[in-house]
Amino acid sequence: MSTATLQAATTATAGVAAAPPMPDIMPPVKARSGILGFLWRNPTIAIGGLLVLLMLCIAVFAPWLWTKDPTALAPALRTREPSATNWFGTDMLGRDVYSRVLYGTRVSLTVGFSVAICASFLGLTIGLISGFIRAADAVIMRIMDGMMSIPSILLAIALMALTRGSVGNVVLAITIAEIPRVSRLVRGVVLSLREQPYVDAAVASGTRTPMIILRHILPNTLAPLMVQATYICASAMITEAILSFIGAGTPPIIPSWGNIMAEGRALWQVKPYIVFFPALFLSVTVLAVNLLGDGLRDALDPRMAKRL
């Protein structure tokens, strides 16, 4: 091989080695966006939200889900086992347990959502005032501490003892018992926010206190308040079931999971289905709301978002 031929081969080899790598022919996978993307990245919210939506559908469409009159008495059909006619069986008065359980979903969700909304609104107002206005903090927090010294279920029972049994009174009693927890949470957030530089700048510029609260403080309290509201909703449903179980909640004429279980406890050993089905619905609903709250906490917490 001549010297010219060897140099040409060497040059060609060097050119091949120095050639840039071939570009990747596979297109990059686009990140999911929108609501579906958010649910994909937060499966806990998706599962909890789906279960809550299912319970809402059951509550709204209960009359059309092959139910009967939940208050209709049929002594000849009492304590019947679950069958094709009565899917969850009948109680000691012959009432269809399936219909009573589905209609009981309305009471539990109504109480849970109503308490969560009312307690969050009132607790937010009290917490904002207490956390930002120091003159009112000492008085308000001592009242809240006094209310928190009483267990919430005992406070609800005491309030129900002063009124007659109804859904509205149950909501009022549980709301009063939950307000101190919300107000203390909001107060703690406000105490940390009012020391931020942008709040000091707003005060120095002459911005009025109500405008500072609405513009700088309130938006930053909504995320933890939203998470706390889900836990209040779950706790309210359990408290309502306890009140109805001991006879201090909704009247027996209104089907709720608590009074259904109370009526079936005498037959628990021989007819456990009377207690099992309302307890199952209550457990699934509370689990769904708690899953939703856990998912919202992870999604709204910046520290958790960095880990994910």
Residue pLDDT, tens place only, 126-151: 999 888 888 888 899 989 988 888 88
Alpha-carbon distance of 180 to 158, in angstroms, equals 17
Specify the long-range contacts of residues 96-100, CB closer than 8 Å, at least 24 apart.
96/67, 96/68, 96/70, 96/72, 97/260, 97/273, 97/274, 97/277, 97/278, 98/67, 98/277, 99/62, 99/67, 99/68, 99/69, 99/70, 99/255, 100/70, 100/255, 100/260, 100/278
Domains of the chain: 36-75+86-307 (1.10.3720.10)
Q: Are 220 and 214 in contact (CB under 8 A)?
A: no
Q: What is the per-residue DSSP string for 93-122?
A: T--BHHHHHHHHHHHHHHHHHHHHHHHHHH
Neighbouring-strand partners of residue 96: 90
Count Cα atoms within 13 angstroms, Cβ side, for 15: 6
Q: What angle do CA 217, 221, 227 make, to 5 degrees?
A: 175
The pLDDT assigned to 33 comes to 62
The pLDDT assigned to 16 comes to 45
Q: Are 293 and 227 in contact (CB under 8 A)?
A: yes
Neighbouring-strand partners of residue 90: 96
pLDDT per residue over 166-222, tens digit each?
899 999 999 999 999 999 999 988 888 888 888 888 888 888 878 888 888 888 888
The pLDDT assigned to 304 comes to 54
Residue ranges of the chain whose pLDDT lies below 70: 1-33, 301-308
The pLDDT assigned to 29 comes to 45
Alpha-carbon distance of 177 to 167, in angstroms, equals 16
Alpha-carbon distance of 148 to 181, in angstroms, equals 8
Query: Model's pTM, two decimal places?
Result: 0.84
Write the CA distances from 133 to 16, 140, 185, integer angstroms.
75, 11, 16
**Among all chains, which residue has been given the structure tokens 């911005």?**
207
Q: Are 282 and 238 in contact (CB under 8 A)?
A: yes
